[in-house]
Amino acid sequence: MQPIPRKLTIHQKAVLIQVLLAFPGQEVGVYYCTAASDAPGYAQDFLTIFKAIGWKVNEEAKSESLSDEFMGLAFVATGPDSLPPVAEALRDVLRIYEIEVGTLYDPTYNMRSSSFILSVGPPASSNFERNRAS
């Protein structure tokens, strides 16, 4: 039996848009694991939201190096306490829908303090997406 592809519902997209509109002018990168068959489509759901609210989006990001480090969704941060408030707001909204977002720390990523990266890895094996790397 094939797993159901991950995607955001229209309602989830609408709620995310309403919350994220409070953070104009953000920059975001969306990475995805090409080995996970549903990752490009799931990443596209987030790209659509970010573009709809006028954010500057890096949509050409694929990452094989991150794909082995986590399952589900993860923010890439340069270190503890380096996620901008908008990423925390996005995480809080997704938790309402039982979608967990982990955090990967990588000090080699060069990003501005107001920007963030959302990385889509392979689906987690349970209902909750979990971060395997701490």
Q: Tell me the per-residue pLDDT of 103-129, one tens digit each, with 9 for 90 and over.
A: 988 777 766 666 888 999 888 764 333
Tokens of residue 96, six digits = 């309402």
Residue 90 has pLDDT above 50, yes or no: yes
133 in any annotated domain: no
107 in any annotated domain: yes
78 in any annotated domain: yes
128 in any annotated domain: no
65 in any annotated domain: yes
Q: Which residues, 6+ apart, have CB-to-CB distance to 2 below 8 Å?
A: none
Q: What's CA 14's distance to the chain center, in Å?
A: 16
**Type of residue found at 40:** P
5 in any annotated domain: no
- Binning the chain into helix, strand and coil, the percentages to the nearest 5 are 30, 20, 50
What CATH number is given to the structural domain containing 64? 3.30.70
**Host domain of residue 95:** 10-17+26-120
Higher pLDDT, 130 or 74: 74
Task: Name the phi and psi angles at 2, rounded to 5.
Answer: -80, 140
Q: Identify the weakest region by mean pLDDT among 20-29, 77-86, 97-106.
A: 77-86
Instruction: Give percent above pLDDT 90 in the chain.
Output: 51
| Listed residue (120, 12, 7, 117) closest to 55, CA to CA | 117
Residue 33 has pLDDT above 70, yes or no: yes
85 in any annotated domain: yes
57 in any annotated domain: yes
pTM recorded for the entire structure: 0.84
Sheet holding 116-120, edge to edge: 56-58, 27-32, 116-120, 73-77, 101-105
Sign of CA dihedral 118, 124, 127, 132: negative
Domain count, the chain: 1
Residue 85 has pLDDT above 60, yes or no: yes
Residue 76 has pLDDT above 60, yes or no: yes
